[in-house]
């Protein structure tokens, strides 16, 4: 049995990285307040299906243990042995026999066989055919009291609004690196496997936010009962942070000779160019966070931007090694040499303490910061109009120059992908230190219009621009032809 299967969570306490969601579901089970339909949304590997199974099992469990299934009662055991007829799992992605799905859903009106409820878990629900959706909708509109639905999807936009409005929705977050590391530690300790902490953090970095990949990598990295940094570095072509830091430093210092030497050494071993780009982008992301208030930020940002643009071209070029070399050399020749004094702390990126005199410099570098009060000065990103009813500014080109919202969106994309999705199509306007975002769809507006997310947006704006903005959200206030964040977003992503 693989470690992933062995350590697949069976109760709420072992679901990783979804604390609030699991607390709510646990509480619903405990207090017997389970709704009749749920929609779990999130990217792959975030624990949607696992949570759906725990919930389904819990609903039919006769002796719940603190809101989690007991694994002992007849119903729990039937589920574990695959004999639970009342929990019907459908994978809409692989089930092309649509009639079968419709038939299954149509049968919902019959009483459960052994459990209290008949529960349908429909994975990748957005893949259902029109007919199957209609059958589902019919049942959702007049749900028999003995039926519950747990729908899961990676693509919420493809789930019809008629379905979405009849279910309780939960968004599953990407799992943080810290959560992945602590899960790996737990598994290592339970299995009696020795490990180096650095090795686990390398795995977590390499697997990004995919817990399943991280556990698989961890398992593949066990050599003689140990997981070591050295072995991982060699097996998975991971470039150590010292080397990544050196390359970035050489770019900033225009030291092309050193770049060529370093790349040469790496190529002796073999470089997976895609992985190289991904690793250096993650490295730079941490560097940007760690230096958000320092002038070095702009050096890192320029390099980040250049490398990310090249990363997007990878699949179109025949010789990726050449693209890598040219990208690094081009970046090194782009501007005046700058020295990077400090190397970023990688494992726990924290904001460096603010240095007032340096902050001055940063503000100067941002074109037209809203701190300038002179109303008559033509300002590239601030709409000079005071009339809020007027349509937003139309000059987008200025926004994508020099410094733009791209860095902010990028930040949001990494931190909260779901919010990013909702914001991609909104329009924006800046007036003094107020940023107004106008949403076209109520669904997106509702998603972002919560105190937590508004705070998050204000905080990230401060991190990216060094200025406190007030974020104001409106629904459908402007005409569709305005500045769309997506215009800048698409240029980057
Ligand atoms: Zn049970």
pLDDT in tens, 20-38: 899 999 999 999 989 999 9
Task: Look at the alpha carbons of 88, 93, 94, 98 in this order and tell me if their dihedral is positive or negative.
Answer: positive
Average per-residue pLDDT for the chain = 78
Q: Compute the distance from residue 149 Cα to the ligand 1 centre, in Å.
A: 19
Structural contact between residues 304 and 284, judged by C-beta atoms closer than 8 angstroms: yes
Q: What is the mean pLDDT of residues 319-338?
A: 80
Residue 433, domain extent: 377-492
Q: Looking at the structure, tell me whether residues 288 and 411 fall in a common domain.
A: no
Q: Which residues lie closer than 8 Å to 77 by C-beta, 6 or more apart?
A: 71
| Domain-embedded: residue 350 | no
Question: Quick one: pLDDT at residue 405?
Answer: 62
Name which of 132, 65, 60, 124 is nearest 89 in CA terms: 124
Q: What is the mean pLDDT of residues 246-250?
A: 94
DSSP line for 455-475: HHHHHHHHHHHSS--EEEEEE
The answer on pLDDT for 403 being more than 50 is no
Strand 118-123 and strand 194-195: the pairing is: unpaired
The answer on pLDDT for 7 being more than 60 is yes
**pLDDT confidence bin for 174, thresholds 50/70/90:** confident
What is the percentage of the chain residues whose pLDDT exceeds 90? 31
The answer on pLDDT for 59 being more than 90 is yes
**pLDDT confidence bin for 270, thresholds 50/70/90:** confident
Q: Compute the distance from residue 75 Cα to the ligand 1 centre, in Å.
A: 6
Strand 427-431 and strand 434-439: the pairing is: antiparallel
Distances (CA, A) of 459 to 17, 159, 409, 470, 471: 22, 31, 13, 10, 10
What is the percentage of the chain residues whose pLDDT exceeds 70? 79
d(CA 443, CA 464) in angstroms, rounded, equals 27
Question: Quick one: pLDDT at residue 391?
Answer: 34
Q: Compute the distance from residue 6 Cα to the ligand 1 centre, in Å.
A: 19
d(CA 1, CA 86) in angstroms, rounded, equals 27
Question: Quick one: pLDDT at residue 245?
Answer: 92
Q: Compute the distance from residue 39 Cα to the ligand 1 centre, in Å.
A: 23
Instruction: Please state the φ and ψ torsions of residue 135, each to the nearest 5 degrees.
Output: -65, -40
| Domain-embedded: residue 318 | yes
Q: What is the mean pLDDT of residues 222-232?
A: 87
Enter the tokens of residue 123: 């994975």
Q: Angle at CA 191, nearest 5°, toward 186 and 194? A: 80
d(CA 17, CA 30) in angstroms, rounded, equals 21
Q: Looking at the structure, tell me whether residues 182 and 143 fall in a common domain.
A: no
- Give the domain CATH number at 200: 1.10.8.60
**pLDDT confidence bin for 401, thresholds 50/70/90:** very low
Number of domains, the chain: 4
| Domain-embedded: residue 468 | yes
| Domain-embedded: residue 352 | no
Q: Looking at the structure, tell me whether residues 154 and 187 fall in a common domain.
A: no
Question: Quick one: pLDDT at residue 335?
Answer: 59
Environment class of 387 (CB within 10 Å of its CB; exposed 0-12, middle 13-18, buried 19+): exposed
| Domain-embedded: residue 369 | no
Environment class of 313 (CB within 10 Å of its CB; exposed 0-12, middle 13-18, buried 19+): exposed
d(CA 61, CA 54) in angstroms, rounded, equals 10
| DSSP-derived secondary structure letter, 65 | B
d(CA 464, CA 289) in angstroms, rounded, equals 9
The answer on pLDDT for 118 being more than 80 is yes
Digit-coded pLDDT (tens) for 329-373: 888 886 566 666 554 444 444 443 433 333 333 333 333 333 333
Question: Quick one: pLDDT at residue 348?
Answer: 43
Structural contact between residues 287 and 300, judged by C-beta atoms closer than 8 angstroms: yes
Name which of 239, 254, 264 is nearest 329 in CA terms: 254
Q: Looking at the structure, tell me whether residues 18 and 69 fall in a common domain.
A: yes
- Give the domain CATH number at 328: 1.20.272.10
Q: Looking at the structure, tell me whether residues 11 and 134 fall in a common domain.
A: yes
Mean pLDDT lowest among 5-14, 92-101, 122-131, 248-257:
92-101
Question: Quick one: pLDDT at residue 99?
Answer: 60
Q: Tell me if residue 478 falls in helix, strand or coil.
A: coil
Q: What is the mean pLDDT of residues 60-80?
A: 95
d(CA 34, CA 147) in angstroms, rounded, equals 11
d(CA 297, CA 83) in angstroms, rounded, equals 58
Q: Compute the distance from residue 63 Cα to the ligand 1 centre, in Å.
A: 5
Question: Quick one: pLDDT at residue 463?
Answer: 65
Q: Looking at the structure, tell me whether residues 25 and 100 fall in a common domain.
A: yes
The answer on pLDDT for 150 being more than 60 is yes
Q: What is the mean pLDDT of residues 450-473?
A: 79
Domain boundary among 171, 188, 220: 171
Question: Quick one: pLDDT at residue 77?
Answer: 95
Structural contact between residues 469 and 456, judged by C-beta atoms closer than 8 angstroms: no
The answer on pLDDT for 468 being more than 60 is yes
Q: Compute the distance from residue 81 Cα to the ligand 1 centre, in Å.
A: 13
Digit-coded pLDDT (tens) for 294-306: 888 888 999 999 9
Q: What is the mean pLDDT of residues 427-437?
A: 76
Residue with tokens 């968004």: 171
Q: Which residues lie closer than 8 Å to 118 by C-beta, 6 or more apart?
A: 86, 88, 108, 110, 111, 112, 146, 147, 148
Helix (H) or strand (E) holding 436: strand 434-439
| Domain-embedded: residue 342 | no
94 vs 372: which has the higher pLDDT? 94
The answer on pLDDT for 190 being more than 90 is yes
The answer on pLDDT for 486 being more than 60 is no
Q: Compute the distance from residue 121 Cα to the ligand 1 centre, in Å.
A: 18
Rg (CA), the chain: 26
Task: Look at the alpha carbons of 443, 445, 449, 454 in this order and tell me if their dihedral is positive or negative.
Answer: positive
The answer on pLDDT for 110 being more than 80 is yes
Kindly report whether the global pTM for this prediction surpasses the value 0.85: no
Structural contact between residues 6 and 19, judged by C-beta atoms closer than 8 angstroms: no
Enter the tokens of residue 400: 């994508």
Q: Compute the distance from residue 23 Cα to the ligand 1 centre, in Å.
A: 19
Q: Looking at the structure, tell me whether residues 206 and 82 fall in a common domain.
A: no
Q: Which residues lie closer than 8 Å to 460 by C-beta, 6 or more apart?
A: 408, 411, 412, 415
Structural contact between residues 343 and 294, judged by C-beta atoms closer than 8 angstroms: no
Q: What is the mean pLDDT of residues 108-134?
A: 89
Q: Compute the distance from residue 70 Cα to the ligand 1 centre, in Å.
A: 4
| Domain-embedded: residue 348 | no
Instruction: Please state the φ and ψ torsions of residue 337, each to the nearest 5 degrees.
Output: -65, 140
Q: Looking at the structure, tell me whether residues 8 and 143 fall in a common domain.
A: yes
The answer on pLDDT for 396 being more than 50 is no
| Domain-embedded: residue 351 | no
Question: Quick one: pLDDT at residue 67?
Answer: 93
Question: Quick one: pLDDT at residue 339?
Answer: 64
The answer on pLDDT for 93 being more than 60 is yes
In this structure, the chain runs to a length of: 493
Question: Quick one: pLDDT at residue 53?
Answer: 96
Q: Compute the distance from residue 115 Cα to the ligand 1 centre, in Å.
A: 11
Q: Compute the distance from residue 190 Cα to the ligand 1 centre, in Å.
A: 25
Q: Looking at the structure, tell me whether residues 47 and 135 fall in a common domain.
A: yes
DSSP line for 144-201: -TTEEEEEEES-GGGS-HHHHTTSEEEEPPPPPHHHHHHHHHHHHHHHT-EE-HHHHH
375 vs 128: which has the higher pLDDT? 128
Q: Looking at the structure, tell me whether residues 188 and 292 fall in a common domain.
A: no
239 vs 415: which has the higher pLDDT? 239
- Give the domain CATH number at 474: 3.30.300.150
Q: Looking at the structure, tell me whether residues 159 and 12 fall in a common domain.
A: yes
Q: Compute the distance from residue 49 Cα to the ligand 1 centre, in Å.
A: 19
């Amino acid at each position: 049995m693989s470690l992933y299967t062995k350590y697949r969570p069976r109760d709420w306490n072992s679901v990783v990285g979804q604390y609030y969601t699991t607390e709510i579901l646990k509480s619903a089970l405990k207090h017997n307040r389970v709704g009749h339909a749920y929609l779990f949304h999130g990217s792959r590997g975030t624990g949607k299906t696992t949570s759906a199974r725990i919930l389904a099992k819990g609903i039919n469990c006769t002796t719940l243990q603190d809101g989690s299934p007991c694994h002992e009662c007849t119903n729990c055991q039937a589920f574990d042995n695959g004999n639970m007829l009342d929990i019907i799992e459908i994978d809409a992605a692989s089930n092309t026999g649509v009639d079968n799905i419709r038939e299954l859903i149509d049968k919902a009106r019959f009483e459960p066989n052994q459990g209290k409820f008949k529960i349908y878990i429909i994975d990748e629900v957005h893949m259902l055919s029109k007919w199957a959706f209609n059958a589902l909708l019919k049942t959702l509109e007049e749900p028999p009291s003995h039926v519950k639905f747990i729908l899961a999807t990676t693509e919420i936009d493809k789930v019809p609004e008629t379905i979405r409005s009849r279910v309780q929705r939960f968004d599953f977050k990407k799992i943080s690196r810290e959560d992945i590391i602590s899960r790996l530690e737990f598994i290592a300790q339970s299995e009696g496997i020795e490990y180096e902490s650095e090795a686990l953090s390398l795995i977590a970095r390499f697997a990004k936010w995919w817990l399943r990949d991280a556990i698989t990598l961890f398992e593949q990295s066990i050599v003689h009962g140990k997981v070591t940094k050295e072995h991982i570095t060699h097996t998975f072509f991971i470039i150590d942070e010292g080397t990544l830091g050196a390359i970035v430093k050489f770019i900033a210092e225009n030291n092309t000779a050193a770049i060529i030497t370093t790349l040469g050494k790496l190529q002796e071993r073999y470089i997976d160019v895609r992985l190289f780009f991904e690793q250096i982008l993650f490295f730079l992301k941490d560097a940007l966070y760690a230096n958000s208030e320092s002038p070095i930020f702009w050096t890192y940002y320029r390099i980040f931007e250049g490398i990310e643009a090249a990363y997007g071209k990878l699949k179109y070029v025949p010789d990726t090694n050449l693209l890598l070399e040219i990208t690094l050399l081009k970046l090194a020749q782009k501007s005046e040499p700058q020295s990077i004094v400090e190397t970023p702390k990688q494992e726990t990126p924290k904001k460096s303490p603010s240095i007032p005199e340096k902050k001055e410099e940063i503000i100067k570098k941002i074109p037209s910061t809203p701190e300038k009060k002179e109303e008559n000065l033509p300002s590239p990103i601030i709409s000079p109009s005071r009339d809020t009813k007027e349509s937003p500014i139309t000059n987008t080109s200025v926004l994508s120059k020099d410094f733009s919202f791209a860095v902010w969106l990028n930040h949001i994309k990494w931190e909260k992908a779901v919010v990013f999705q909702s914001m991609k199509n909104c329009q924006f306007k800046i007036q003094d230190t107020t940023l107004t975002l106008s949403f076209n769809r109520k669904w997106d507006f509702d998603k972002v219009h919560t105190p937590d997310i508004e705070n998050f947006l204000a905080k990230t704006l401060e991190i990216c621009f060094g200025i406190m903005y007030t974020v104001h959200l409106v629904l459908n206030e402007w005409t569709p032809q305005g500045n769309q964040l997506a215009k800048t977003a698409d240029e980057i992503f």
